[in-house]
Amino acid sequence: MNRMKLTKFLAGVVAVLALCLSMAVPAFAATPAPEPVSVTDNAVGEEVTLETYIIPALDFTVDPGSIDFDTGGPHTVTITNTGAWDLLVTCRVNGLYEDGPKLDGEPWSSFNATIKRDGHQEIDITLTVLESYPGVGESGTIIFWAEESR
């Protein structure tokens, strides 16, 4: 059956239904017949919204974000693995008396820690400055680096 014939057929069905309703229920008698129904080849679709949080492969936090060595020491820093992979964490010291920082009693250049997924590690950081060091009131950074632990 082609589209034109189907449209006319459906319009006739709607008209008959409207007539039957108007005869059976007087309240519908004043209601005009609905518009003819047309059928097209267009598809109908629904959509579903998808959401997820993708955990980065390498991700970690360091707390606290700053240390004031004027308040003494050692200072405990916690590195928490928030990524999907186990981490191998190393560090680099910049700007401060570079021979002074020690992590867990070892020179910062020797530091490395393996931190499992969802795990954390506490590290004690101290600063030792030689009395003969000429610097005063310096600041610097310890940058922690992470790569996949294999």
31-42 pLDDT, tens digit each? 566 666 666 667
Distance of CA 26 to the CA centre of its chain: 61
* Res. 23: pLDDT tops 50: no
Q: What is the tens place of the pLDDT at every residue in 59-117? A: 999 999 999 988 888 999 999 999 999 999 999 999 877 788 999 999 999 999 999 99
> Domain segments of the chain: what residues?
1-41, 60-148
Strands 113-115 and 87-94: antiparallel
Is 60-148 CATH 2.60.40.10? yes
Q: Report yes or no: 86 and 116 within 8 Å, Cβ to Cβ.
A: yes
Q: Which run of H or of E encompasses 144? A: strand 141-148
DSSP letters along 68-134, please?
-GGG-S-EEEEEEE-SSS-EEEEEEEESS-TTSEEETTEEGGG--EEE-TT-EEEEEEEE---TT--
